[in-house]
A and B are shown apart, each in its own frame.
Chain A
Amino acid sequence: MTILDIPELALVALVGVSGSGKSTFAARHFAPSQVLASDAFRAMVADDENDQSASADAFGALHHVAGVRLRRGRLTVVDATNLQPHARAGLVQVAREHDVLPVAIVLDVPEALAWERTQARADRDFDRQVLARMQRDLRRSYGQLAREGFRKVHVLRGVEEIDAAEVRLDKLHNDRRELTGPFDIVGDVHGCRAELEELLARLGFVLHRDDAGRPVDAVHPAGRTAVFVGDLVDRGPDSPGVLRLVMGMVAAGHAICVPGNHEHKLLRKLRGQDVKLTHGLAETMAQLDAEDPAFVTGAATFIDGLASHFVLDGGRLVVAHAGLKEAYHGRASGRVRSFALWGETTGETDEYGLPVRYPWARDYRGAATVVYGHTPTPTPEWINNTLCVDTGCVFGGKLTALRYPERELVAVDAQREWYAPARPLVSAPTRPDTVLDLADVTGRRHLEHAYGTLTVPAENAAAALEVMSRFAVDPGRLVWLPPTMAPCSTSTVEGFLEHPAQAFGDYRSAGVERVVCEEKHMGSRAVVLVEREPGPFGGGVVHTRTGRPFFGPPWDGELLDRVRAAVGTAGLWDELGTDRLLLDCELLPWSAKAGGLIREQYAGVGAAGRAALPAALDALEAAGARGLPVDALRDRMTARRAEIESYSAAYRTYVAPTEGLRGVTLAPFSVLAGAKVTFTDRDHGWHLALADRLCAADPEFFTPTRRQVVELADDAAVTAATDWWLALTGAGGEGMVVKPYAGPAARSARGSLLQPGIKCRGREYLRIIYGPGYTDPAQLAALRRRSLGRKRGLALREHALGLAALDGYAADVPLWRRHALVFAILACESEPVDPRL
């Protein structure tokens, strides 16, 4: 019995004359859907499987289908004679385009038998000469197949051998999807054995040493697997030591390893090829000279046996030395190997004479996490679900490991600079930090950040692009956008759509014990970034919740001056050790910014109602005086008139005369960030205390935020807060926002982010949202069917993006990276949700 080894993903070409039994063979060993037969394609395009004039089109279609299948990762078998070199060349090309291995299986049967079979078929009417020519072509093919690019050639001679053959599908070397970790993925070691020992120890591995005290294995008690991304050798002080340890771990099954370009070059050198002893290879060769020749031979064998990359954890993780684009995951070809070793270069060289690497990660949109090394950067940064863990240990940086699936970084400092870098370590993107690229924000985008993941649909990004580019302030100063806020669960309290009972209940069921109720100011959201020095650009920015300049010049500048002065008076610059502050505020009164909206929409409705209902009542009064039974209708209209008066009173509360900044006040309630720091982990007591100090510093300009701190288990406190809310809203207040006392970044006991705030709006205020008569029992019953899930999900997603954006600002990440987060918040706002929520 002959075993035919075929890679799981391959393009298999059957080669044989007419009547050699190819179709029978294919049917026996492969699923019908895997087999593409030229006869079938001739029939498909020309209704006749023997129409030779259709051959060109039939093969065109066959190659196309084969290509699609291979792109999708499906094994494909081509059942055609494949006797001509040009026919086979087409198949090899299709395989190469999709980076899969072409395999040939030759079926060689005696010509007489083939002739007998051919004659037995009614639809084959060619003469024996044709068959003889095929047979000659087959003979000629033998020597050519390997040269033509077929990586495996199986030849089956005679009917018996053909019948006895078995096909065995082999996994590719790079397919280790069955390994689910957990993994510790270690960046480029470059001969830094001591640092590697320290890192492994910190990761929890226990080192095993040989008699000479040299580490030869490391075992993790919890069964974690180390993954080495390559470049174990060169430049550093002990490349053989690193090889010994890693080879030992791999042999013992405690580690897996992919090769780096330095291993590749070392192997060529060890095989005696002409390789320049540059980039630290000379050091390695000198170190290896001191080693036992058997060790050196073993190292060469080890390197030679390494797969270019690994697909791990069910396809969710890919490791390659220089990274790998999605189309190459789990593929095998020269260019896949080359990409994995060196990455893609643009063909240009930089000012240090080194090749400019194409930032493939920026275009990466795949679902699998890709972890790699190769390009040293000061700090590992996630780019589109990819991470480079090379932090330049040998250049005096750090040796870093990524814990997977935890996604935590563990690093140890280099003991010293072992090798001088040719260029300074810089983060991957080298473009100017203020420049943004359309590709950073448009199209369907997958965003992964410290607080979660998010997919932005292309149409939302398109809508946000217009707002961002036409109306928003300079992205450099657009640090954060306020997330949308969900209302509390719909109330069942009679006459109320929203009520504190539900707001408290929502947090209670999320496991929160202490909340703060903050008065909800009815004004316009204002985000203030104020800098200590006025500076040439105005010393900060004040923008709306969609990133627009608030009033525009000159008032925004005046407003910033007032805030700057108050921060100074309150002594916050020095106390917080920052030269800038990001404040989340409400600007009052509402009419200062929204005067047009109030007049156009809210007042207009009031005017129409206040004119229409008395007229209707007059007519009804007169009809009633005539003795007509209009009582029910009159009562109804009377109630409506009362409602429109209540409604008018509600919007009028938020109107106050202003002129310029005169009459305008600012109510800050959160101090989000400063220079290189965020304050999202501080509790709301801290935030409000700072707000109070600003109010004390300039009581005319700042409005305090009234608040109640409530222990949710304390019924008396809950009742008191409810009464407080009733009084607040009874006096025309908009309502309150309930927040977890622990602060903006509060998490639940299970560790997930909590809603940063839940609004609970007053009964009267809601008239300007749901209409003057929404309190009518029938209307209220209908409105109670409102659904909050979408709004809550959106609020949480935007909140998470905002936290990540603030962290990015504090960490001084490149602008494009934090802009992508802020942009995504704006894009989320294009999501269709009930605007009344």
Chain B
Amino acid sequence: MKVIIFGGTPGSGKTSIIKFIIQELKNLKIHYVKFDVLNTDDDLLIKQKFGISTENKISGEACPDHYAALEIPKIIKEHKDKDLIIIETAGLCLRCSPYVNEGLAVNVLNILAGKPSGYGPLLTDADVIVVSKGDLISQAEREIFRSKILEVNKNALIIDGNGLTGEGAIDVAEKIKESQEVKNILTLKHSMPTGICGYCYGNKILDSEETLNRYNQGKELKSRIPNLNCGKCGFKSCNEFIRAVLDKKVEENKCPYIKNKE
């Protein structure tokens, strides 16, 4: 089984290009997962169009990329019978992008959205970079853009893509066919930025004292729960549960595994 992770800023054309790629790979057993923050119906549209299995994962209060990294092992476990798992990230963070070491990391890069040097891991750790919306500018500028990508990521295969015509989909599909099957425990290509402070535990008041308090409370609570993200408390992740407890929206005994204070 192969795991293909698509990253790219919102509006770069990830979903459109993925549709053309699925079309090219329709003889494989594919599972498609869309991560987003608020809502999405891309999974339903793709299910309708291609009849493959799909699902969406809404991160809500959590960072969508951290959430994806938490969920990917579960998805793989549940879909061992598939040839290919296509994961489309929310694409909100250029720094977190949850690319893994096996399979393929594909960045759909909107040529109109700024300099390649400003992107970080989303671009620099990708194996394949699909440059989209290139039809809106001159070829000379496309060539210059390409050389700027090479300055920050020498190893990626750069493909001109178009979400309207499907240009580039054949080349990505070809690369997917060549990519390695998942064999070992997956590793993130880069460590994600830390996000551990009082704000992560739901503090809203911009005050260092308050933030520190909230951080200490959160850390204490975290040490007493199993961090399994089992969902039995009604929240998607333990962190969301901690925030709700600290916001006094729920009692801490909602967690069936919680240990008492020492």
Q: Are A and B a genuine interacting pair, yes or no?
A: no
- Chain B positions near chain A (C-beta within 8 angstroms): none
- Chain A positions near chain B (C-beta within 8 angstroms): none
